[in-house]
């Protein structure tokens, strides 16, 4: 097999190609570095813009939750007060009108028993 010895004319072409490749790589690295720097700056800018919004939103959510809890507590307290007043009113009525109270309780019990009887008969038929 015959092999051609490297000629001197191929050596400068190889060097030129290598230099061109090096320049292309360096140019690509510069462009990439600039793109990363720009992206990092954008991320920092976005972070500085978003952080106050998140803090404000967190504060508003906390305030809203606190108002909700306060409203539930207040509503619960009002219901307890109403139940207490109704109980006191019922007790006063029983004290002042014992006979009427007994008759009302008996009539209510009879009505409930009649209702239960009707419901149980309708279930037996079905």
Residue 41: its pLDDT value, please? 84
Which residues of the chain carry a pLDDT beneath 50? Answer: 1-3, 5, 7-9
Any idea what DSSP says for residue 10? H
> Domain limits of the chain?
17-95
Residue 96: its pLDDT value, please? 92
Cβ–Cβ under 8 Å, residues 101 and 94: yes
Cβ–Cβ under 8 Å, residues 109 and 102: no
DSSP states along 54-91: HHHHHHHHHHHHHHHHHHHHHHHHHHHHHHHHHHHHHH
Cβ–Cβ under 8 Å, residues 101 and 93: yes
Residue 109: its pLDDT value, please? 93
Residue at token pair 């790589």: 25
- Say what the pTM is: 0.43
Residue 104: its pLDDT value, please? 92
Residue 1: its pLDDT value, please? 46
Give residue-wise pLDDT tens across range 40-70.
888 888 888 888 888 888 999 999 999 999 9
What is the distance in angstroms between the CA of the first residue and the CA of the last residue of the chain?
A: 107
Residue 69: its pLDDT value, please? 93
């Amino acid at each position: 097999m015959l092999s051609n010895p490297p000629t001197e004319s191929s050596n400068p072409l190889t060097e030129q190609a290598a230099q061109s490749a090096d320049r292309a790589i360096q140019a690509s690295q510069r462009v990439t570095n600039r793109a990363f720097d720009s992206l990092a700056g954008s991320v920092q800018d976005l972070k500085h813009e978003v952080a106050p919004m998140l803090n404000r939103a967190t504060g508003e959510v906390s305030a809203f939750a606190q108002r909700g809890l306060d409203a539930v507590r207040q509503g619960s307290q009002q219901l307890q007060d109403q139940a207490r007043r109704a109980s006191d009113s019922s007790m006063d009525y029983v004290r002042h009108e014992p006979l009427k109270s007994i008759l009302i309780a008996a009539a209510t019990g009879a009505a409930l028993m009649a209702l239960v009887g009707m419901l149980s008969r309708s279930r037996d038929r079905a």
